[in-house]
Amino acid sequence: MTTVPIELHDRVYDVDLTQLTPRARAFAEAVTRCTGHRPIAVVFETGRLLRERSDFAYRYGTHPDADAIGARPERQTLTDWLPARRGATWLGPIQWLEAAIRTIPVHGYPIAAAPFPHSDAMEIERVPSADAGAADRALVPSTVLEYLRTELGCPLSPQEWDELRQTRRQPAPDRYVCDVPQWRPETLHAFARARATA
C-alpha cells in the first residue's frame, strides 16, 4: 500500500493512493509536496501548447526563441484549494481530493507542486502519476453538460439531462467514485452522435 500525508484542517491524514482515480492520485502527490506551507499551489498542464494561446504572438512574437517557447506545454498554477464540507461535516481526504480535482477543466491535469505560485520555471519535479492523470479525463455531472455543449455541440439543460436519467436514456456512467457517477469523453461522444442521428 502506498500512502502519502495530506495536511487538511491542521491535521495530517495518511491517504492510500490506490483508493484514488489517476487524476486525483496525481493531485494528491502534488498536494503532499505542499505540506508545511500555504497556500496549496498545484501546477496544471492545460492540454495545449503555449503557441495556441490567443495572446502568444503579442507576448512572444519578436522573441528570438519564440518557436521553442511556443512548443512548450501551457501551464497554470492554481491555489487556495479549500477542503470540501457538507454542512458542518468534514467529508474526508479521499472525497475532498476526488471532488477538488474534478472542478478544473477536463483538459487540465496536475503535474507538480508549486512552492512559488508565480514562477514560470519549466524545470519542475513532476509527480509520479502525472502521465496517468493526464489520461484520466472522466467528467462528473457538474462538468458533463458544459462538455456536451462546448466540445460536442450537444446543448442540454440540467432538466433535460435529469429527464434522460429518469427515462433511462442517459448514457450509463463509466464508473462511480465516492458515489458520484463519472463519464469518459468517449462515452459522451457516442451519446452525442446517437442523438444527432436519432
Is the same domain home to 54 and 89? yes
Is the same domain home to 14 and 104? yes
Domain that holds residue 190: 141-197
CA distances from residue 190 to 26, 196, 197 in whole angstroms, order as listed: 28, 10, 11
Closest by Cα among 36, 40, 148 to 96 = 40
Q: State yes or no: pLDDT of 37 exceeds 70.
A: no
For 17-41, what is the mean pLDDT?
Answer: 84
Quote the pTM value. Answer: 0.81
Q: Are 140 and 102 in contact (CB under 8 A)?
A: yes
State the pLDDT confidence band at 82, using cuts at 50, 70 and 90: low
Q: Are 108 and 45 in contact (CB under 8 A)?
A: yes
What is the enclosing helix (H) or strand (E) of 99?
A: helix 93-101
Is the same domain home to 170 and 108? no
Q: State yes or no: pLDDT of 65 exceeds 80.
A: yes
Q: What is the DSSP string of 26-52?
A: HHHHHHHTTTTSSS--EEEEEEEEGGG
State the pLDDT confidence band at 53, using cuts at 50, 70 and 90: confident
Q: State yes or no: pLDDT of 186 exceeds 90.
A: yes
What is the number of domains present in the chain?
Answer: 2
pLDDT given at position 172: 96
Is the same domain home to 146 and 49? no
Alpha helices in 115-184 (DSSP H): 130-135, 141-152, 158-166
pLDDT given at position 135: 92
Q: State yes or no: pLDDT of 103 exceeds 70.
A: yes
Least confident of 2-6, 27-31, 83-87, 177-181: 83-87
State the pLDDT confidence band at 154, using cuts at 50, 70 and 90: very high
Is the same domain home to 34 and 124? yes
Closest by Cα among 75, 147, 152, 142 to 106 = 147
* C-alpha cell, 128: 509520479
Q: State yes or no: pLDDT of 7 exceeds 90.
A: no
Is the same domain home to 29 and 65? yes
Is the same domain home to 110 and 176? no
Of the three residues 92, 112, 135, the one that is the final residue of a domain is: 135
pLDDT given at position 192: 95
Q: State yes or no: pLDDT of 55 exceeds 80.
A: yes
